[in-house]
Amino acid sequence: MTTTLYLIRHGESLGNIQKIFLGNTDWDLTELGYQQAACTASVFENIHVDAIISSDLLRAYHTACPIAEQKGLPIETEQDFREIFAGKWEGGAFADLEQAYEQDYTVWKTDIGRARPTDGESVLQLHARILSALQRTVAAHEGETVVITTHATPIRVLCTGFSGLPIEETAKTPWVSNASVTKIVCEDGVFRVEYTDKHDHLGDLSTRLPANV
């Protein structure tokens, strides 16, 4: 039996435009982020959706809202779909983090699969958390189609693992853009990435992470 999962990265957030490492810090979308969320709902106009699950952080939840309204479905929140917990980096400006935590932040930028934000969650721990949440989702919605609104690092590490690479090689997997769609299918417990970072629906509204993340 095939379960279809659409992973959506949240729209542009206030942290994105201020170049802040949010992690679990709960900042909302920008006005553009709300527009991106509305555009992303258009992707699902002709796709049947059985359930919508969101990270409990505002930027992900509000990205899910237009799809939920379109489909007449409730949004289930799941804390385990949050972004990585960034420890001492939470709420810090990227430029400041590069200087204050040079060694740890250099690993993040160059070898993210082996990274751990200072006093925070490692990327390996994040992957274990996100994968467990996804497996629980499949068990609860076997044979269904589920939309999940989440964050950049969770999508990146899941796509790394499902592509057959060890999580330590996550640097080989690109970041996805704001409000982009990644499609994953699970057949008999085996996950497969069908496509990543679909964002053509956004047109000129598309935005990405800066180079120093």
- DSSP secondary structure code for residue 13 in this structure: B
| Residue 122: both structure tokens together | 């490692």
Amino acid at 165: L
Q: Using one digit for the tens of pLDDT, what is the confidence trace for 47-90?
A: 999 999 999 999 999 999 999 999 999 999 999 999 999 999 99
CATH code reported for the domain at 2-205? 3.40.50.1240
Task: Name the residue ranges covered by the structural domains of the chain.
Answer: 2-205
Q: Across residues 115-143, what is the average pLDDT?
A: 98
Closest-CA residue to 2 (of 190, 187, 204)? 187
Give whole-number Cα distances, 28 to 15, 48, 154, 167, in Å: 8, 28, 18, 29
Q: Residue 10: helix, strand or coil by DSSP?
A: coil
**0.85 exceeded by pTM:** yes
Distance CA(128)–CA(124), nearest Å, equals: 6
Per-residue pLDDT at 30 exceeds 90: yes
What is the tens place of the pLDDT at every residue in 145-182?
Answer: 999 999 999 999 999 999 999 999 999 999 999 999 99
Q: How far is CA 159 from CA 5, 31, 210, in A?
A: 12, 29, 20
